[in-house]
Structure formats: structure tokens, C-alpha cells
Amino acid sequence: MDIPELFTRGEPVFSFEFFLPKITDDIPSFLDGVRELKRLSPSFVTLTYGAGGSARDKTIETAGRIKREVGLETACHMTCITHTKAEMSENLSRLTSEGIRHIVALRGDQPKDQAVPPPGERDFGYARDLVAFIKSAGGFRMAVAGYPETHPEAVSPDDDLRNLVEKVKAGGDWVITQLFFDNQAYFRFVEKARAAGVRVPIVPGIMPVTGYAQLKRFTAMCGASIPPALNAELEKVSADPEAVIRLGVDYAARQCRELLEGGAPGIHFYTLNKTRSTSEILSKLRKAS
């Protein structure tokens, strides 16, 4: 399967993101959860990379198992902030041996327990450097990240957009956005990206709300905003976990429907390794179609 070709078929492309369990013993139950979500027929899935590449061997092995044992096309996240070119070449060789030819190419977050040299002193200063390196290796298709509300470390929205343009020029085949809750942020972002020359698919990343405190942590880390109306609704039910989940499902389903009607090529779900919310949202979308 060639993932970028999926976006040329005129049908919404649904994909799921999973994060790698921190404990190796949890991987069997994690794979069971992936099998559970397979029944929803995602077009492909992605698997996140340990911070700073701390779990690179386990990430690559598990991505291979998802593709081989579960039977889902898998794009493996690959971050470069702590890696040398030699290490990255080894990663690419291992991905090839696992049958993985799709990568989500990212700079990666600063590791909490490791000092990292400034960009000019690293083999890969920025994500665009990783994209260019993988492109030169050949044999891979790549997703890159986009930020509807601007990357937290960007100097300005215009500078952030220039970074996206450079990543696509370097070899990005499609864009997956950071999570957001205001669809107008996505539509404005797409409009500006198209005006800047980005022609590849720009897929909105959606995270169903499953916990109010968790939502606050995530949005604080990634710079996403919570619309006042949604925040007010969540505050009312924050003490009732079940009510928060129901509200999150309903909000995400409305959000996804509006995005697809507005021309989004698909939806990338940040599942948080949970099956319920994603399952219910997709059920609502497919019943409405």
C-alpha cells in the first residue's frame, strides 16, 4: 500500500495514532487493543517514537508487529533530535527489514533527562533535515507535522508556515496536523498553506476528549486552545468521567463532520490507545454518510 495514493481516491481516509507502551510487558495487551480497533477498518495507523528516541528498537519492532501480526499498514514515527546520521541510517535499515516503508518524520521533543546541543551542532537540526535525509535514502513515503495554531517554539506563524513549506519541499508526502478543537484554525491554516505552495494532503489531527485534566495538560504542552464554549461545557461535567467522555465523543463527531464537509481529506485520530471514543465517533460519522 502507498499511503499518499489513498488521498487521491475521493473518499475520506481515516487513520489512528497509537503511542508505544512504556513497559515491554504491556505490549501484548497493547496489540490486542490495536486488533480491537482494526474492526473499524482504518486506512492505516501510526506508532509514536519514544522521547528522544529512547525506545527506538522497541518502536521499530512493534511497528513491524502491527503490520505483520495485526495486518494494518503502519507508519512509524521517527524523531531526530538526539540521533546521528549513522544511527538514523541504522533505523531506516531496520524499518526496511520490518517491511515498514512509511514514516512520520519529526524533530521530536527535548528529552527530559538529556541535554541536547543547539540545532547547528546536531546532525539533524530540524525536521526538514530528517525529511531530506530519508528522501535521499529512497524507498520511503513520509508524513510531516503541521500546526494550525503555530508550533509553540516558532518565532511567528509565518515562520512556522515557512518551516512546513520546507519540510514538504524536502520530501513530505502528506501533512498531519497537531490536535485542535477550533475548526476555523484548521481551515485558515490550509488556506495559508495552499497560498504558500503546499499541495500535498493536509489531514486534521483530532483528539477526542476523554478527561478534562488530561486535556488541560495536552493543550498546555502543544499550544492548542480550547474554545470557551467547549471549556465551559467540560467544566460543568468535569467531576463525572462518563459525562466527559460522552461530551468528548459528541464534540469530536461534530468537529469531524464539519471538517469533512469543508474538504478535509480524512481524519487522523489521536486514540490515546483507547478504543471506545474513536469507535463511537466513527460510527456516528459513517451512519451520517
Which residues carry out catalysis? Answer: 17
For 164-186, b where at least 16 C-beta lie within 10 A, e where not — what string?
Answer: bebbbebbbbbbbbbbbbbbebb
Q: Whole-angstrom distance between the N-terminal and C-terminal Cα of the chain? A: 25
- Dihedrals φ, ψ of 133, to 5°? -65, -45
Cβ-based neighbour number of residue 54 at 10 Å: 16
